[in-house]
């Protein structure tokens, strides 16, 4: 299909009996499909651009964006997938086209919110802009200050926020919100060459490399690539691994893994070894990157040390010096800048170590509710299992490739034991998946892209090629179909109308310094505005049974938790309603019950109410006055 037919003979004339030259083999002319790659790329992007104005994101309901995406959007993804498959056929001679398609896929999948939304995607991301604003306003870091809303950690790991403060100043914009929604695109573009570098360390077949990149992008639905410390730290983590895998091979450790006859036809020989002096220089070069990881994020250094530890178990990468340097940098940061949270975390380990079920659950309640969130949860699990099954097929079916790419397999498995340590606020499941994804995507691609060397000489090889011709497009379409609900199925809780943002900002600005803001959960816009001046209590971020007790008499429940004399306001918004329902924090209809009972209570007075939110002021004095007057009469 689309590839010029090869001549029947090998270029030499065959002779029949009597020395008469046989007639030359008949050549079949097949049209050159080179024009298809650019044509399908233009068509796919054109359909995507055509689909954007038809996406009615302001009326999202139970299924998020899924039932708001027009047919042209889905058609665009199918056309891009078909074009990518065509481009793979010439990946060895024209790798630029698979690259162009991978960039197009990244834009098609993750750019719609950046292009369309008139507010920040992921309401909780607005707290990162609040940290940047505070750093610019205060002009200093306060790692030991006890800041409300668990915000002290951001001053203890400030690298990401100081970088963005510098960018805000350099660009002359009002704040990080001006470019926040573009972070998935920017981080994805930065990650792309790093992934290619890692995959090329173990595969010389460009088809395998680009298919692994494509699968990584489709399987990366976890939403950790927004403007947050994890996104930047993850890129730095991959960069360190790329350097280690290519430049830290010990002399004499390759063995037969340099023998072309022993290697899998698609595999690359082990990189050239480096001596002790060269590896020491590399440690010096990448130490600032490891230091930056420690300055940006608290979990990623642990993931990096776990990866370096499993690599040190292999003869090929037994470099204890690098592991010691990474461990010392992490420990030094944790005992200095990050000391408060580090000691607090150590104090909780006694209760979390060994609790695999609790540590691997997602979120506070661990039970998504509603059609969209439930579909998103099931799609995410199905996607993860599909990629793992494909990877397992390659690990056991292509033993020679597994032997040469064993370091990548070990690095992917390294984060799994962290399930036994901590739940990381209900996010350990997503983080383990994210850090294991590069290797899983590589081996999943290996299951779908068989080696071509010798395939035309054996029945088994021909059968593999025929199977791959069906399995590869089928799998890419399945992964695309899974990505959309996993990434966009909960979009109704990710988009916030600007009027709601303005309501929250007004409510917080009217609180005096030291005042208290109450809300069900912190996932709403501007939730941590003025976090260094105002206290916060997100009272529904707890187990569902406790919240059901709270709903029996919410006014009394909140009043008992408000310190005497505190100036307090309750802010309940549309985004909180969707979030608490979708994450299972409140029972069905629980948010409406909460709002109505607080409105009816004499302990709270409504000061502002709109379809997208309500603000109530805590008024214990009026209740006490009424009680006194009644007693006197």
Residue-wise pLDDT for 132-154, tens only, equals: 999 998 888 888 887 776 788 88
Query: What sign does the dihedral 200-203-206-207 (CA atoms) show?
Result: negative
Q: How far apart are CA 188 and CA 191, in angstroms?
A: 5
What pLDDT score does 147 carry? 77
Residue-wise pLDDT for 378-401, tens only, equals: 999 999 999 999 999 999 999 999
Pair 267, 401: CB distance under 8 Å: yes
Q: How confident is the model at residue 100 (pLDDT cuts 50, 70, 90)?
A: very high
Residue-wise pLDDT for 563-618, tens only, equals: 999 999 999 999 999 999 888 899 989 999 999 999 999 999 999 999 999 999 99
**How are beta strands 535-538 and 516-519 bridged, if at all?**
parallel
pLDDT cut 90: percent of the chain above it: 65
- Strands in 121-189 per DSSP E: none
Phi, psi angle pair for 164, to nearest 5°: -70, -30
Q: How far apart are CA 252 and CA 267, in angstroms?
A: 19
CA dihedral 551, 556, 561, 563 (to 10 degrees): 150
What pLDDT score does 406 carry? 95
Q: How far apart are CA 567 and CA 617, in angstroms?
A: 8
Overall average pLDDT of the 43-60 stretch: 95
- Does 16 score more than 50 pLDDT? no
Residue-wise pLDDT for 310-348, tens only, equals: 999 999 999 899 999 999 999 999 999 998 888 888 877
Overall average pLDDT of the 426-446 stretch: 92
Residue whose pair of structure tokens reads 């979009």 in the numeric block? 491
> For 444-453, b where at least 16 C-beta lie within 10 A, e where not — what string?
bbbbbbbbbe
Q: Which residues pair with 604 in a beta bridge?
A: 618
Q: How far apart are CA 378 and CA 420, in angstroms?
A: 24
Q: How far apart are CA 413 and CA 409, in angstroms?
A: 6
What pLDDT score does 193 carry? 96
- Does 32 score more than 60 pLDDT? no
Q: How confident is the model at residue 365 (pLDDT cuts 50, 70, 90)?
A: low
CA 157 to each of CA 128, 237, 238, 393, 527: distance values in angstroms, whole numbers, following the listed order: 12, 16, 19, 40, 20
Q: Which of 6-10, 23-27, 460-464, 513-517 has the highest mean pLDDT?
A: 513-517
> For 549-570, b where at least 16 C-beta lie within 10 A, e where not — what string?
ebbeebbebbbeebeeebbbbb
CA angle (157, 529, 614) in 5-degree steps: 140
Residue-wise pLDDT for 102-137, tens only, equals: 999 999 999 999 999 999 999 888 889 999 999 998
What pLDDT score does 629 carry? 44
Q: How far apart are CA 119 and CA 124, in angstroms?
A: 12
Closest by CA to 64, choosing from 495, 381, 383, is: 495
What pLDDT score does 29 carry? 43
pTM of the entire predicted model:
0.89
Q: Which residues pair with 333 in a beta bridge?
A: none
Pair 616, 518: CB distance under 8 Å: no
What pLDDT score does 214 carry? 98
Pair 306, 415: CB distance under 8 Å: yes
Residue whose pair of structure tokens reads 């779908």 in the numeric block? 448
**How are beta strands 568-573 and 604-610 bridged, if at all?**
unpaired
Least confident of 43-57, 283-297, 453-467: 453-467
Pair 568, 608: CB distance under 8 Å: no
Pair 394, 468: CB distance under 8 Å: no
Which of residues 175 and 505 earns the better pLDDT score?
A: 505
Closest by CA to 263, choosing from 397, 396, 404, 391, is: 404
CA angle (561, 567, 568) in 5-degree steps: 55
């Amino acid at each position: 299909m689309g590839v010029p037919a090869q001549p029947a003979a090998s270029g030499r004339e065959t002779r029949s009996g009597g020395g008469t030259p046989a007639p030359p083999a008949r050549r079949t002319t097949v049209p050159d499909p080179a024009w298809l790659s650019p044509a399908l790329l233009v068509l796919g992007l054109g359909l995507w651009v055509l689909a954007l104005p038809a996406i009615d994101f302001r009326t999202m309901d139970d299924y998020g964006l899924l039932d708001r995406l027009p047919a042209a959007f889905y058609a665009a993804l199918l056309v891009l997938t078909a074009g990518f498959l065509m481009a793979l056929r010439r990946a060895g001679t024209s790798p630029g086209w698979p690259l162009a398609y991978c960039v197009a896929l990244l834009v098609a999948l993750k750019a719609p919110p950046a292009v369309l939304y008139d507010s920040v995607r992921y309401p909780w991301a607005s707290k990162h802009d609040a940290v940047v604003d505070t750093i610019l306003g205060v002009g200093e870091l306060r790692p030991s200050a006890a800041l409300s809303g668990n915000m002290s950690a951001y001053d203890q790991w400030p690298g990401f926020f100081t970088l963005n403060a510098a960018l805000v100043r350099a660009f002359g914009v009002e704040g990080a919100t001006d470019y926040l929604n573009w972070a998935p695109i920017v981080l994805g573009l930065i990650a792309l060459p790093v992934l290619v570098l890692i995959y090329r360390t173990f595969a010389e077949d460009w088809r395998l490399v680009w298919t692994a990149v494509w699968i990584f992008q489709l399987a990366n639905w976890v939403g950790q690539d927004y403007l947050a410390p994890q996104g930047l730290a993850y890129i730095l983590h991959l960069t360190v691994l790329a350097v280690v895998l290519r430049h830290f091979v010990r002399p004499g450790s390759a063995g037969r893994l340099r023998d072309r006859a022993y290697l899998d036809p698609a595999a690359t020989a082990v990189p050239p070894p480096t001596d002790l002096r060269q590896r020491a220089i590399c440690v010096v070069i990448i130490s600032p990157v490891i230091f930056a990881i420690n300055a940006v994020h608290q979990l990623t250094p642990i993931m990096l040390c776990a990866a370096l530890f499993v690599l040190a178990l292999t003869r090929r990468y037994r470099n204890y010096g690098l592991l010691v340097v990474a461990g010392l940098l992490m420990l030094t940061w944790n005992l200095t800048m990050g000391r408060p949270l580090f000691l607090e975390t150590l104090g909780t380990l006694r209760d979390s170590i060994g609790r695999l079920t609790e540590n691997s659950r997602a979120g506070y309640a661990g039970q998504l509710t509603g059609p969209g969130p439930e579909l998103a949860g099931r799609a995410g699990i199905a996607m993860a299992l599909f990629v793992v099954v494909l990877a397992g097929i390659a690990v056991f079916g292509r033993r020679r490739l597994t032997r040469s790419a064993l370091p990548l397999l070990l690095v992917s498995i390294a984060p799994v034991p962290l399930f036994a340590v901590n739940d990381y606020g209900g996010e350990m499941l997503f983080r383990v998946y994210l850090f294991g994804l590069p290797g899983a995507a590589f081996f999943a691609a290996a299951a779908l892209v068989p080696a071509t060397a010798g395939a035309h000489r054996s029945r088994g090889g021909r059968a593999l090629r025929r199977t791959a011709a069906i399995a590869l497009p089928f799998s890419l379409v399945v992964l695309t179909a899974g990505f959309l609900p996993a990434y966009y199925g909960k979009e109704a809780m990710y988009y916030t109308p600007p009027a709601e943002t303005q309501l929250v900002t007004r409510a917080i600005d009217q609180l005096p310094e030291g005042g208290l803001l109450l809300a069900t959960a912190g996932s709403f816009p501007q939730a941590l505005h003025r976090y260094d001046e105002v206290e916060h209590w997100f009272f529904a971020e707890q187990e569902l049974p406790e919240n059901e007790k709270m709903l029996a008499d919410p006014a009394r429940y909140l009043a008992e938790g408000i310190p005497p004399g505190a100036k307090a306001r309750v802010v309940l918004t549309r985004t909180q309603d969707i979030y608490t329902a979708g994450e299972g924090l409140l029972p069905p209809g629980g948010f409406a019950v909460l709002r109505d009972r607080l409105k009816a209570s004499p302990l709270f007075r409504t000061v502002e109410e709109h379809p997208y939110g309500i603000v109530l002021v805590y008024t214990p004095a009026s209740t006490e006055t009424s009680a006194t007057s009644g007693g006197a009469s």
